[in-house]
A and B are shown apart, each in its own frame.
Chain A
């Protein structure tokens, strides 16, 4: 799979990362290299092998459904840039 420069800009947009043309070009080279590596790996026959979803072969531990967290709003909001009426404030977002 070959990437082009538009793909790089689209990926950067999706990740909300601002890059200039020069960075885009070097990112294109690097990402293409990684994809090349993946292509190489895809030559390996993996039939019948369960895809690995975690590097550790363990099962998820579960937590009892008991409230353990207390209200720490003041502590958390002390480091927030802007708050009002207990809300975190961000630049206006409307779909």
Chain B
């Protein structure tokens, strides 16, 4: 039988605020245990939550970025469960009335080895604000668990999709796109190692062509795209094998083990009503007015799709180039800075996607840490544009810039890379070459085009590579003509 996998994602994005969602305690990562756990974080009796304005603005920004309905009135609810890293005995979340409603995100799914991709729209079901729990540390003291409540109360936006994805590749493409988007609009630092962006993936399979969804299992807490791909592929095959062997899928929460590449059931999924959600009486409904939305909108950066369209229209870039340059905010900002500093857009695009990107990849650096600044690259491109240096020489200058050997003009001077553009000087060189190579001149006159290129080569060699090739061509043509 042919099977179809159905995937939906729930992503917890940690919001980039200074303080917690319901208190003025700091959210800085990596502090000593419990030094950022105030009376609200540790749930002392009688404390009250006060909602963080910035967390709300982050949620609105996200809603605007995915073209979603933003609820004029949303409600915080208590999700009840017992665990030591949740000292209140409930998590404050949103249940029936989330702040962000239905929206959508368009993704490019890679297909084939040559950069081909197809487009797909993933529907966002909702996004709601909630608080994170603390951390349990096992093994520090025999027979005990240690609790660090620094993370308790950190603001999260949980983003839930419809079961729209049909392959691991689609799920990963969505997760990557979302990861870029939340960083682009500045609501999340995207640091997956520190847990700022964690995905739960719901996977089910059904016979291809049928409508009814199969029973799903939820893979929890994936914090790398590579693991997500592996986990979904393993889980899909496991479900198909189980069903083909006549077994049944039990709804469950599973964990992915990166060492074995397998998924394993953690606990049978509790029914939703076991959480006994009810509106939190400590918090009034959150009201978002049209004015609030308009205000937040003015602080929004241009979104990637809009920027891509602008790059195509204003700079005449291809759709592929524009998409590559707007794949991350860092690349887009860098390219924009190079162009603003006076470089032509097309060579700027080629250098950013070519030499710079190759060098960054090779040294595993991100573009915001590039040793060659946008201003330096722009200066380098200007020196190609005004014929001071050749493209080949520019590559040497780029390497020197990367190594921190000074500014563009200093490097050109120090390395003697300045191109010879003085007509008289080039003519003198060409005369010499013509006198020294009468055989080639004869061949050319007899109709051998190749001889012309050989003469150009000789002239370039005689100038030690510094002659402007276009001028050499021109003058040589004139002299032989």
Contact = CB atoms under 8 A, between A and B. Distances in A.
A59 to B, nearest CB: 4
A93 interface: yes
Nearest to B285: A53
B18 interface: yes
Given A60-B287, A63-B50, A71-B35, A88 B24 contact: no
B19 interface: yes
Interface stretch (A1-9, A28-36, A41-49, A79-87): A79-87
Main secondary structure of the interface of B (DSSP, over half): loop
Interface centre among A55, A66, A69 (most CB of B within 10 A): A69
B57 to A, nearest CB: 9
Contact of A85 (B18, B80, B140, B276): B140
Given A63-B50, A69-B24, A76 B37 contact: yes
B52 interface: yes
B51 A84 contact: no
B248 interface: no
B138 A85 contact: no
Contacts of A91: 143-145
A24 to B, nearest CB: 19
Contact of B53 (A56, A64, A84): A64
Interface in B109-158: 136-138, 140-141, 143-149
Contacts of B35: 71, 73, 86
B406 interface: no
Category for how many chain B residues contact A:
35 or more
B84 to A, nearest CB: 4
Interface stretch (B5-13, B26-34, B171-179, B370-378): B26-34
Interface string B50-82: 111111100000000000000000010000101
Contacts of B54: 64-65
A60 B51 contact: yes
A89 B141 contact: yes
Contacts of B42: 76
Contacts of B34: 73, 76-77, 86-88
Nearest to A76: B42
B37 A73 contact: yes
Contacts of B50: 61-63
A54 B52 contact: no
B140 A54 contact: no
Contacts of A55: 281
B433 to A, nearest CB: 71
B169 interface: no
A84 B140 contact: yes
Nearest to A79: B44
Contact of B23 (A16, A69, A84, A89): A69
A14 interface: yes
A68 B136 CA distance: 26
Contacts of B82: 16
B20 to A, nearest CB: 9
A78 interface: no
Given A63-B24, A69-B26, A69-B38, A88 B146 contact: yes
Contact of B283 (A60, A73, A76, A84): A60
Contacts of A90: 84, 144-145, 147
Nearest to B134: A88
Given A53-B97, A67-B24, A89 B52 contact: no
B345 interface: no
Contacts of A63: 24, 50-53
A14 B52 CA distance: 31
A6 to B, nearest CB: 15
A56 B19 contact: no
A20 B55 CA distance: 45
A46 to B, nearest CB: 15
A21 interface: no
A77 B24 CA distance: 19
A61 B52 CA distance: 9
Contacts of A77: 34
Nearest to A67: B26
Interface of B: 17-19, 23-26, 32-39, 42, 44, 50-56, 75, 80, 82-84, 97, 136-138, 140-141, 143-149, 266-267, 274, 276, 279, 281, 283-287
16 contacts: A53-B279, A58-B284, A60-B287, A61-B51, A64-B54, A65-B18, A67-B18, A67-B24, A73-B34, A85-B146, A86-B33, A86-B148, A87-B137, A87-B146, A88-B34, A94-B145
Q: 8 closest pairs, A vs B, by CB?
A: A87-B146, A68-B24, A65-B54, A59-B287, A62-B53, A86-B33, A69-B38, A60-B284
Given A71-B35, A87-B34, 16 more contacts: A53-B285, A54-B284, A56-B284, A60-B284, A63-B24, A64-B53, A67-B18, A68-B24, A69-B26, A73-B34, A73-B35, A86-B33, A86-B35, A87-B140, A87-B148, A88-B147
